[in-house]
Amino acid sequence: MTEARRRLVSPQLKMATGADHGLKKIVWQRIKDTLIADCRKSEVWKILILDQFTTRLLSSCCKMSDLMSEGITIVEDLHKNREPVLEMKAIYFMRPTAECIDAFINDFKTKPKYKAAYVFFTDYCPDDLFDKMKKNCAKHIRVCKEINISFLPLEAQVFSCDNAEAFKSIYSPNSQDRDQTLEMIADQIVTLCAALDEYPGVRFKKDPNLNYGKKLAELVDNKLARHYELDENSKKKDKTPAQLLIVDRALDPVSPILHELTYQAMAYDLIPIKDNIYEYKLKDGCKKEALLNEEDELWVKLRHMHIAEVTGQIPKLVKEISASRGERKQADEKISIGGLSQLMKKMPGFRKQMTQKTVHLSLAEDLMNHYQKNVEKLCKAEQDLAVGADAEGQKVKDPMRTLLPVLLHPHDTTDKIRAVLLYIFSLNGTTAENLNKLIQHVKIEDEKGYILNWEHLGVPILSTPSMFSFRKQSRRDRSDEETYKVSRWTPIIKDIMEDVVENKLEVKEWPYQSECPSVWNGSRAVSARQKHKGSSPDDLRSGTRLILFVLGGVTYSEMRCAYEVTHANKSCEVIIGSTHILTPRSLLEDIYNLGKQPMERFTIEEGKP
């Protein structure tokens, strides 16, 4: 075996998550059916060359062992210097951008680095770039295809465009690439629909102030029509009984700001988790890292539970471990992280399984420390302001009385900003005089943008008598649902999901961009494409999908809602996605940065003093 064959994987590629869940399974299957199937005809071992996005894409849906079993032994970075391996064929999987095309051409223009190239683009390659590649490298290319996957499958029912910069491009008043960004997002949404084999009816939220949702809906609908016209292999030219809803971030400014107390949302809010990696310490001071993803069955089981339920689960988990080795007596006692470490040493056969449980013991402990130290004091005020009533159902008559204890307590500035925003949202905007007092109290006179820049999203910060003023979304009655007093708020998007599934979403507020099958039009008529089984809601929903796209970022609590509504309705699967995933702190930074001027403005003209 050559030196090249022995190099299995480049260090920057962390193959981690499994392919056994929903969207990930669909994406991995599509990659196998296209990219890998075309290359399998040759017995020769191959090199896989990826750009930054496709590295993340493959990492999200397969492991290195999956690639190895398909004859791929080396994974390389397209944009880094690579040694030539002339006896091997190379698979290029990349975005159709000028930067990627130039890097590809450099590999073959003067002296070829590989025996041949199999080129696969995530999406449609513009004619000028395709012609440039063909002109320089045609004789080296064996295959050139577009496989229509330009989104990341983050979870079984969650996808991302992996574009946090889109927030500024869309909402900044100084944006110079808004239309270009919306075009790119639309292309990505179309590839999601194609991967799911759906041609959905497209709807958007009517907004008298901002029309970004409407623009995106138009783009997606037109591009879907073009896609299914051009796709010769597609048998599905008619609309399918699926709906795609375009939701703007302004629909619900509250959910991203509240302290959410379900396990996953709480973890990403309070703990510095980067690239899904949680760092923790054992009692002996030893540092460990854990990847929080769907490979970890315990994470999948716990992630949407309230922290109170998670902490209740931990003694049971410890008992399970102990029971497997007859250690019941020890399990009944209080077991710390250190104690569990000692237990692990006695049970080497169960170390992998127990490592997962150690991780979640540590994470739950971390979260409870944060909660008891700080968050608990914030939750009652936040919930009262968000819901507009206290835990006993009494209406909040004076929101300022609810806010004051938070402002007077030595919470950190970010927590105070979050509380002030919830106060302003509860009033649909406040007076300039009141706003200035609040800004002075929180001591952010030089950082007013954290609050003022919400106006760029169409969220009112200053109250206005205008007849076109921001109207709050009417809420579903959940008074009969059991909730924790510190977690009474339900994300607005869950109301929307449930209204769609029950055919109750107002067409005036949520118009269709184009005609949709009657199965979804609220008339209780069944699409001609479906067999008529009856008129019950379950019959109507059979085999349907609801896809929600949140323009401007989606929260972990909103992601949870997709699973909850799917679980409650069984036969309707809810898929949710966005430009990127939000945490409260990342959103506040995005909001603040909307006020910054683009660098392009600061140019010095030649010859002028």
> What whole-number distance in Å separates Cα of residue 248 and Cα of residue 225?
23
Burial group, residue 121, by CB count within 10 angstroms (0-12, 13-18, 19+)? buried
CATH code for 23-149?
Answer: 3.40.50.2060
Is it the case that residue 330 has pLDDT exceeding 90? no
Per-residue pLDDT, 110: 83
What is the torsional sign of CA 21, 26, 28, 33?
Answer: positive
Task: Count the Cβ atoms, other than its own, within 10 Å of residue 447.
Answer: 16
pTM of the model: 0.85
378, 406 in Cβ contact below 8 A? yes
| SS3 (DSSP) at 136 | helix
Beta-carbon neighbour count of residue 366 at 10 Å? 17
pLDDT band at 552; cut points 50, 70, 90:
very high
First to last CA, the chain: 65
205, HSE (Cβ side, Cα atoms, 13 Å): 24
Backbone angles phi, psi at 384, to 5 degrees: -60, -45
Angle (CA) 267-158-271 rounded to 5° is 10
Asked if residue 331 has pLDDT above 70, the reply is: no
Please tell me the distance from the alpha carbon of residue 14 to that of residue 182, in angstroms, as a whole number.
Answer: 30
Over the chain, what is the mean pLDDT?
83
Nearest Cα residue to 98 out of 58, 134, 136, 125? 125
445 versus 2: the higher-pLDDT residue is 445
C-beta neighbour count of 66 within 10 angstroms: 18
DSSP letters of 217-266?
Answer: HHHHHHHHHHHHHH-TT----SPPSEEEEEEEGGG-SSTTTS---BHHHH
Contact 420, 442 (CB under 8 A): yes
| pLDDT for 467 beyond 60 | no
Percent of the chain at pLDDT above 70?
80
Give 144-156 pLDDT, tens digit per residue.
Answer: 999 889 999 999 9
**In the prediction, which pLDDT does 311 show?**
87
SS3 583: coil
Query: Residue 311, Cβ neighbours under 10 Å: how many?
Result: 17
What would the pLDDT profile of 189-244 be if each residue is shown by its tens digit? Answer: 999 999 998 999 999 998 877 899 999 999 999 999 988 886 555 554 678 888 99
What pLDDT is stored for residue 151 in this prediction? 96
Same fold, 23-149 and 153-251+491-519+542-594: yes
Q: Which of 110-114, 150-154, 531-535 has the lowest mean pLDDT?
A: 531-535
pLDDT at 475 (0 to 100)? 81
Helix (H, G, I), strand (E, B) or coil at 71: coil
Please answer whether residues 514 and 508 qualify as being in contact, where contact means their C-beta atoms are separated by less than 8 angstroms: no
The contacts of residue 455 (CB under 8 Å, 6+ apart) are 461, 462
The conformation of residue 395, written as its DSSP 8-state character, comes to B
For residue 4, the model assigns a pLDDT of: 32
DSSP of 455-467, one letter per residue?
Answer: GGGT--SB----T
Query: What's phi and psi for 269, nearest 5 deg?
Result: -85, -45
Q: How far is CA 401 from the centre of its chain?
A: 36
The DSSP H or E segment spanning 427 is helix 413-427
Q: For the ranges 324-333, 347-356, 448-457, which has the lowest average pLDDT?
A: 324-333
> What CATH number labels 153-251+491-519+542-594?
3.40.50.1910
- Residue 255, phi then psi, degrees to nearest 5: -55, -40
Confidence of residue 54 (pLDDT cuts 50, 70, 90): very high
- Rounded to 5 degrees, what angle do the CA atoms 284, 286, 290 make? 130
Give the tokens for residue 58. Answer: 């493959």
Output the pLDDT for position 18. 36
Give me the pLDDT at residue 208, please. 79
263-323+335-457 fold: Syntaxin Binding Protein 1; Chain A, domain 2 (3.90.830)
pLDDT in tens, 269-297: 999 999 999 999 887 788 989 999 988 88
What sections of 502-555 are H helices per DSSP?
537-541
pLDDT value of position 607: 43
Tens of pLDDT, residue by residue over 28-48, are 999 988 888 877 766 667 889
More confident residue, 268 or 465: 268
- What distance in Å separates the CA atoms of residue 328 and residue 396, rounded to the nearest whole number? 49
Mean pLDDT, residues 172-196:
94
**What's the pLDDT at 295?**
85
Domain boundaries defined on the chain? 23-149, 153-251+491-519+542-594, 263-323+335-457
Lowest mean per-residue pLDDT among 20-34, 347-361, 453-467, 497-511: 347-361
d(CA 487, CA 261): 7
**Structure-block tokens of residue 510:** 């949520």
357 has pLDDT over 60: yes
